[in-house]
Amino acid sequence: MSEENNKTALVYGGCGALGKTFITKLKSENYYVISVDLLPNPEANFNVKVTELTDWSKQSIEVISQLERSQLANKDERLDLITCVAGGWAGGNAADQNLVKSCDSMWKQSVWSSLICAQIAAKFLNPKGGLLQLTGAVPSLGGTPGMLGYGMAKAAVHQLTKSLAEPGSGLPEGATVLAILPVTLDTPMNRKFMPDADFSSWTKLEFVVGKILEWKGKNFTNRPQNGALVKFVTKNDKTELIVE
């Protein structure tokens, strides 16, 4: 790593809308950036390509083995930030004939990626203030009858976040784990499929990225407590943070 790149971050889901926004911002702040996704992100310094999509254990081994061949093989190098922004959305209630298929997809996208990030954190996260950020969802704090798979997967991420914050979780003692809980993110895909929605109630990607990098900054006094679930609630283009 060059002297200019004195901070290191990993973005799981580096080719999604939020992941791309993260990587662009991280690069502008001189981070050495590792992207993990199905495809490479050309802005990243190092890309981990995921090809194992049917076996959770094999995907974990595939990702971590590639990281062990990166600059992280140097024991003095540690990740300052791990952000897990892989995910997706699918609807479906108990009467939906495709329910199990959609639930399986939601579990793979949100829970597989989150747990693998936890394993990465246990192995590579900086014990001196490192941050592991997972992604939940406000609706999963309650019932989600029309999107059972999505609701269950995000609720599992919430539980994982709480568990990782407890002693004995395997994370470095000086690190922090938290989850962001948006309602709706302002992405091109969401605009495409919900063109008549109230965009002023959608959270801007740049705001999310800026807030997480603020928490990663040297002044940790602004960082939510370990295990926090942070709701991003936007109204009239203004976003309020509410910590659960």
pLDDT, tens only, 47-65: 999 999 999 999 999 999 9
* Residues forming beta bridges with residue 48, ordered by sequence position: 36
Residue whose entry in the numeric block shows the structure tokens 């990993």 = 10
Q: Please say whether the beta carbons of 173 and 126 come within 8 A.
A: no
Give the global pTM: 0.94
Task: Name the helix (H) or strand (E) containing 133.
Answer: strand 131-135
Rounding to the nearest 10 degrees, give the CA dihedral for residues 182, 33, 61, 129.
-70
Give the C-alpha separation, 156 to 136, whole Å.
8
Q: What's the full length of the chain, in residues?
A: 244
Q: How far apart are CA 40 and CA 160, in angstroms?
A: 27
* DSSP letters for 11-61: EETTTSHHHHHHHHHHHHTTEEEEEEESS--TTSSEEEE----S-HHHHHH
Say which amino acid occupies 177: V
Helices in the chain by DSSP H: which ranges?
A: 17-28, 56-67, 99-106, 113-124, 148-164, 188-193, 205-216
* Full pLDDT tens readout for the chain, 244 residues: 444 457 999 999 999 999 999 999 999 999 999 999 999 999 999 999 999 999 999 999 999 999 998 878 777 789 999 999 998 889 999 999 999 999 999 999 999 999 999 999 999 999 999 999 999 999 999 999 999 999 999 999 999 999 999 999 999 999 999 999 999 898 888 888 899 898 999 999 999 999 999 998 666 668 999 999 999 999 999 999 999 8
Separation between Cα atoms, residue 9 and residue 36, nearest integer Å: 11
Longest Cα separation, the chain: 57
Q: Could you tell me which of 1, 108, 98, 17 has the C-alpha nearest to residue 55?
A: 108
Supply the pLDDT for residue 244.
86
* Active-site residue, 150 included: yes
Structural domains in the chain?
7-243 (3.40.50.720)
C-alpha distances in angstroms, 204 versus 45, 83, 182, 184, 233? 25, 17, 10, 9, 11
Of 12, 31, 32, 150, catalytic: 150
How far, in Å, CA of 98 to CA of 28, rounded?
43
